Amino acid sequence: MLSKLEELILLAVFRGRADVTAGDVQAALSTALGREQQFGSVFTSLDRLSEKKLVRWKKGEPDARRGGRAPRLYEITAQGRKALDESLRATQVVGGAGVEGFAWNAPPARGVRR
Amino acid sequence: MMDFLHYAAKGAAIIAPGFGAIWIAMRFLEEVLSSKTKSAIRLAILRSVSELFDRISSTSDRQAAPRGLLIDMCMPPDRAEDVLYNLLGRYDHWLQVHGRRWARIIFHLQSAGSILTFWSDWLLKRAKLLKMFVSN
């Protein structure tokens, strides 16, 4: 079972398709949560996901603007997509068809398709 | 454990020679020279040390992005490379949003947080292994 942070990180990696850096994930989480996400927790979670074989990484090209350093580029695996799917489905099932008072469950505005 | 000792030794290897050289020079002065010459040379040494520190602080230009020396020293090289790449990437964003002073503070806090999380995770993994070994 994935933790909430792992689920969000997997989603961020999945939405980035391929070649996602830890910085991209941190930026996505910071924007979503509305506060600066700790880089340390992102790196540790990505390491754990990598150990569970839910994401894989390869070395990117060195960037001269960042002192010739090369990043790790992450990509979701088939196993990762399955785990993410299960986790999101579990959230949906537990949430049910309608939990009143939650913004995510509010009816869509007119003309907006869900 | 070996990793920790390796980085402790690396840090000591960087700091120790500088202090060692100053101590040897002072001892040499005490033993060999007359009191007048001693004080003149002491003054010269103090001046050159102060110039050296001035030069070091002026090369760490406040306008430029931080160099992340702490990460380079406290993390394995492959991990440090990735961490610094990402932190420097985000530094530009922090610079635009918060200004130079806060961007530097955030950079250093994030660096310290990354190092702490890395080593605490490392310790936790070893502790789990040890617990498994003991329980078996």
The per-residue pLDDT for range B46-80, each reduced to its tens digit, is: 777 777 666 655 555 556 778 888 899 999 998 99
Q: Which two tokens stand for residue B105?
A: 């503070």
Q: Which two tokens stand for residue A37?
A: 């996400």
Domains of chain A, CATH where assigned:
4-92 (1.10.10.10)
Q: Say how far apart CA A28 and CA A9 lie, in whole Å.
A: 9
Q: Which of A36, A43, A66 sits opposite B106 (nearest CB)?
A: A36
Nearest to A17 by CA among A58, A75, A72: A75
The rounded mean pLDDT for chain A is 85
Q: Say how far apart CA B68 and CA A106 lie, in whole Å.
A: 46
Write out residues 65-84 of A within 8 Å (CB-CB) of B.
66-67, 69-72
Chain B residues closer than 8 Å to A70 by CB: 81-82, 85
Q: Say how far apart CA A34 and CA A51 lie, in whole Å.
A: 29
Indicate whether this complex's ipTM tops 0.95: no
Q: Write down how long chain B is.
A: 136
Total beta-carbon pairs less than 8 A apart between chain A and chain B? 65
**A112 Cβ partners below 8 Å, 6+ apart?**
none
pTM of the model: 0.67
User: Nearest residue on chain A to B72, judged by CA atoms?
Assistant: A69
Distances from the Cα of A13 to the Cαs of A51, A73, A76, B88, B136, in angstroms? 16, 10, 6, 20, 38
Q: Can you give the residue ranges of every domain in chain B?
A: 1-59, 62-136
Which parts of chain B sit beneath pLDDT 70? 1-14, 26, 29, 32-35, 52-63
